[in-house]
Amino acid sequence: MLEPELSVAKDKILIVEDEEAIRDMLGYALMKEGFNCDEAADAEQARNTIESSRPNLILLDWMLPGMSGIDYARRLRNVPETRDIPIIMLTAKGEEADKVRGLETGADDYITKPFSTKELIARVKAVLRRYSSSTDTSIIEVNGLVLDPETYRVTANGQDIEISPTEFKLLHFFIGHPERVYSRTQLLDHVWGENVYVEERTVDVHIRRLRKTLEPYGFDRYIQTVRSVGYRFSTR
Ligand code: CA
């Protein structure tokens, strides 16, 4: 097995959670996985911690005493110094609408309590990978589906896939933003560009084509419809 990536610096995760037991559990799981951790019990403590040491990612509980996690996420996004720190919301709210609301305030992902540490680690790594890959053109691989942004090639289990440029862009966007739900409008903005006039229906057409392209290899199931919200890329 080739291991091209050598981890030099450890990523630092700031855990903002008022329940000590959960905070300890998160810290333990993350440190076991090789991350450095800082802990804060509320937004105020978090602010002080960030000032002295900037984290690579923030795990932010939705329900906090004082300023809520969602308001704090919004504040983090409005300040230039913290705007580009990825945020994962921890939420007990299971409603899809709440999740979308959380994402709209600027969180990158959300995890619904109760969650397994395995899921947590996977989400943290996915978000960190997404941030580091958004600026470069590194090859992305998910369970045998490989996308190379430099050569515009996609392979499935080693086989070349014929894919149109638009489907490629759509897949590239999805694969770099796993588990997150996007509305048709958001997909248009991200994939087609904000100032291009394209009907929302166009998104559905390209989603269909992308699924058809991936179908022979079984990867079409990763492109999931979230009823009345939009679409997401998920391996689950
Ligand atoms: Ca809480």
Distance from residue 200's CA to the centre of ligand 1 (Å): 38
Ligand 1 centre distance from Cα of residue 76 (Å): 18
Q: Which residues pair with 36 in a beta bridge?
A: 12
Pick the closest to residue 11 from 83, 73, 85, 89 (CA basis): 85
Ligand 1: distance of its center to the CA of 156 in Å? 42
CATH 3.40.50.2300 positions along the chain are 12-132
Query: How far, in Å, from the CA of 227 to the mean position of ligand 1?
Result: 29
The rounded Å distance from CA 113 to ligand 1 centre is 10
Distance 52 CA to ligand 1 centre (A): 24
Q: What is the pLDDT of residue 217?
A: 95
What are the residue ranges of CATH 1.10.10.10 in the chain? Answer: 140-233
Would you state the pLDDT for residue 149?
Answer: 83
Question: What angle separates helix 165-176 from helix 200-214, to the nearest 10 degrees?
Answer: 90
- Expressed in angstroms and rounded, the spacing between residue 170 Cα and the centre of ligand 1 is 36
Instruction: Report the top-level CATH class of 12-132.
Output: alpha beta
Low-confidence ranges of the chain (pLDDT < 50): 1-8, 135
The architecture in CATH of the region 140-233 reads Orthogonal Bundle (1.10)
User: Using one digit for the tens of pLDDT, what is the confidence trace for 63-77?
Assistant: 899 999 989 999 998
